[in-house]
Amino acid sequence: MRKIRVHIENTRKKGELFHVTRARWDAACARHRKLASRLEASVGWDGDILEQALTEADIVIGVPARRERLAARAPKLRWVHATSAGVDGFLPLDWLPADAVFTNNHGAHGAKAEQFMCMAFHLLNSRMPEITGNQRTHRWQQLFSPNIRGKTALIVGLGDLGQGAARAAKQLGLKVIGVSRTGRKIRHANAVHKTTALDRLLPTADYVVMAVPLTPQTRHLLNRSRMDRMKPSAGVINIARAPVLDNDALADKLRRGELAGAVLDVVDPEPLPPESPLWDTPNLIVTPHISCDDGEHYVDISLDLWFGNFERFLRGRPLQSRIDPRRGY
């Protein structure tokens, strides 16, 4: 029986945490011996063996930097898998061969997102951005905070990250209101509405969490006019992509005291340049895009999910986490 050829494409520009090395691949194969016996794998770096590997590859893990004429370069290709959840950098999918499917790393981030969101909710409720600002200026001011239980979290986007945020909110005793394209109910939300209800819901929120994929429809979804609808005591948390909210408007409202605080795990550009005004925006905490990635086992988690999907591939079943080219996620 012919083995299925999988090529793993890495880039050194990404951190070591995300590298699918030969050792990490072999460890995953040891956990999934029966499935791995059907595979023959090559591991490349920054295109060093890409062209030769593509001539025989049935599957590629890691989206190649050069994607033009991919159908001609990879005549046997049936599946491309992104090792990230966000795929906005790979759109539009006009490079994807007609007979191939494209999947992302959905499911690898929710557990860590849940833990980060527990922290972020507490940071804002405890007025920690303001307290740390006072520490930098050597100012002693007792800032007391209420019990977080019973406050309202409005979570915009209910995929892997958004559901992690919802679980965190529920653990803390928050009322959880979800917003998604479909309005489909999820377990940890008190109510879920379609995105068209966002303007009506914003004034009710103590915390607005952005967890949507970046698409043309979600760019600046939380814009200045929508922030104007929020309570001055409310906070914003973004664990999605930076452009889903207007960061300039957010910084302006924080400076004016028209919002209580914010936690941004994503900014544009990344890394944030030293001259960016966001560094010195009051009541803002910036974390360097680390909210949702397990710092010890990211690749292990990702490959275990991939092998689960590979079993579906072998059985001819529809793959999970398949990207819809029309929606962009």
Q: Is 270 one of the catalytic residues?
A: yes
CA–CA distance from 221 to each of 60, 238, 291 (Å)?
Answer: 33, 12, 21
For residues 79 and 86, is the Cβ–Cβ distance under 8 A? no
Q: Is 241 one of the catalytic residues?
A: yes
**SS3 at position 286:** strand
d(CA 67, CA 90): 9
H or E element that contains 80: strand 79-81
- Angle at CA 221, nearest 5°, toward 292 and 233? 80
d(CA 120, CA 99): 43
CA–CA distance from 130 to each of 3, 117, 158, 254 (Å)?
Answer: 58, 18, 29, 11
Tokens of 224: 């200045």
Q: Of the residues 40, 184, 200, 270, which is catalytic?
A: 270
Residues identified as active-site: 241, 270, 289
